[in-house]
Each structure stands twice: as structure tokens, then as C-alpha cells.
């Protein structure tokens, strides 16, 4: 596709269940980011993948959160044993080989509601 695609667009889950959020970056983009945005708040950095380098996981809030990127393309963010405070919009972004002067493209996000 032309842009970053995220699925599902909306997800409602029960507390304690596991969820998987998917991100399809723009083809050829080696850098991929995950953020979350709680209602009325700014973007909170979660994790960053750059090519074959070890991912920067410094933003993951707890060990219930994990992410992987298969084949340098699609990424999946997994939240285990979801809690109500995990409710937020989860945003994915990608960019071309990263030298600090490249533009990041964002998807429309996945709105996660934990009930």
C-alpha cells in the first residue's frame, strides 16, 4: 500500500486477555516505531526497530509488552494480560534508512479499549 497500515483499527478486549496489534510499514522502510497515546496525552515512545540492529526497547512500560519485526517488514506489538490502563491508541511509524534527516510516516493507529 501507499502508506503505513495498522490493524485492527479498533480492538475491544477483556481485562486479562492478550492482544496483538499489527503494523505494515511502507515498503523499503527499514526504521519502524511504536508509540501509544492515551486520551488527551502526547505520544509515548514504546520501541524502535532499525534494520538488523537490536531494537531499542527502552520505552516498553512493562514486561507484558513485547514487539517483533519479521523479515524486516511487518511488526507485531503484543500486550499480555491486558489492564485497563493499557487502553490507548497505538501508533506505528516507519521511515527510510535512518540518518536523522528522514521523514517518518505514521499509520492511523489502533484504538485499544480494555474493559
Partner 1 sequence: DAKTTQPNSMESNEEEPVHLPCNHSTISGTDYIHWYRQLPSQGPEYVIHGLTSNVNNRMASLAIAEDRKSSTLILHRATLRDAAVYYCILRGHRGSTLGRLYFGRGTQLTVWP
Q: Which residues bind partner 1 (CB under 8 A)?
A: 4, 31, 33, 35, 41-45, 48, 50, 56, 91, 93, 95, 98-101, 103-109
Which residue's CB is nearer to partner 1, number 43 or number 74?
43
For partner 1, give the closer residue by CB, 36 or 114.
36
Least spacing, CB of residue 28 vs partner 1, in Å: 16
Of 52, 61, 50, nearest to 95 by C-alpha is 50
Q: Give the rounded distance of the alpha carbon of 85 from its chain centre.
A: 16
Closest CB 43 distance from partner 1, rounded Å:
4
Compute the least distance from the CB of residue 69 to partner 1, in Å: 14
Nearer to partner 1, 9 or 16 (CB): 9
Evaluated on CA atoms 21, 27, 32, 38, the torsion sign reads: negative
φ and ψ at residue 28, rounded to 5 degrees: 90, -10
Determine contact, residues 32/94, Cβ cutoff 8 Å: yes
Amino acid at each position: 500500500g501507499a502508506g503505513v497500515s495498522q490493524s485492527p483499527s479498533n480492538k475491544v478486549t477483556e481485562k486479562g486477555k492478550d492482544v496483538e496489534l499489527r503494523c505494515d510499514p511502507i515498503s523499503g522502510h527499514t526504521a519502524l516505531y511504536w508509540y501509544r497515546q492515551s486520551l488527551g496525552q502526547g505520544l509515548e515512545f514504546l520501541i524502535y526497530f532499525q534494520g538488523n540492529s537490536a531494537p531499542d526497547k527502552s520505552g516498553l512500560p512493562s514486561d507484558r509488552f513485547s514487539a517483533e519485526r519479521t523479515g524486516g517488514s511487518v511488526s507485531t506489538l503484543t500486550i499480555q494480560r491486558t489492564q485497563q490502563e493499557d487502553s490507548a491508541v497505538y501508533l506505528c511509524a516507519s521511515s527510510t534508512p535512518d540518518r536523522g534527516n528522514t521523514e517518518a510516516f505514521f499509520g492511523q493507529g489502533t484504538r485499544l479499549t480494555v474493559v
